[in-house]
Amino acid sequence: MRADASLIQGYWSLRRSIFCSEQHVFEESDRDELDAIAYPIAALHHSSEPEHDDGADTDVVGVVRIVETEPRLWYGGRLGVHADFRRHNQIGKGLIWKAVTTANGWGCDRFLATVQIQNVRFFRRLHWTSIDELEIRGIRHHLMEADLGYYLPSREQRPIASHQLSAAA
């Protein structure tokens, strides 16, 4: 994600809105120690409406982060789409594609995610396999693995250092 201050603010704001205000998974912030080493990915909506809230022409409408927790082992997490853009699952699907193909291009041998129970079927349709069932913060999840043969590696170059977003927002 570009290190544009408004995009970074939008990334954090949407995560907080989804995981704190809407789903009540966290109270005030969903940030954790992984954010210091994670690569944020955002889906953007380009607006041409004159009444646009902040005068900018781009809004963050979807988020996900990817993080290498061990050499060649990657996790995707904090996947979320703004409520106004969830109708057809295309943004979520695109974020998943971008997350897995990016990590795969950066040397991923295994890509995992903990997926809330209501989204397991969606992930299965996108070539993911359930490995285990678990409970996180009182919510049922499946630990799932992406089929890396389906998600071909992207050619995007890995940044020298991960984005340091903790100072933003």
User: What's 120's domain CATH number?
Assistant: 3.40.630.30
Helices marked H in the chain — which ranges? 5-16, 90-105, 120-125
| pLDDT digit string, tens, across residues 127-153 | 999 999 999 989 999 999 999 999 999
User: How far is it, in rounded angstroms, from Cα 75 to Cα 144?
Assistant: 10
The answer to whether position 22 is within a domain reads yes
Task: Quote the pLDDT of residue 21.
Answer: 78
Q: Who wins on pLDDT, 161 or 1? A: 161
Give the range of the structural domain holding residue 82, as residue numbers without chain letter. Answer: 5-45+56-146
| pLDDT digit string, tens, across residues 59-77 | 999 999 999 999 999 999 9
| pLDDT digit string, tens, across residues 10-55 | 998 898 888 887 776 778 887 778 989 999 999 999 875 545 455 4
Domain count, the chain: 1
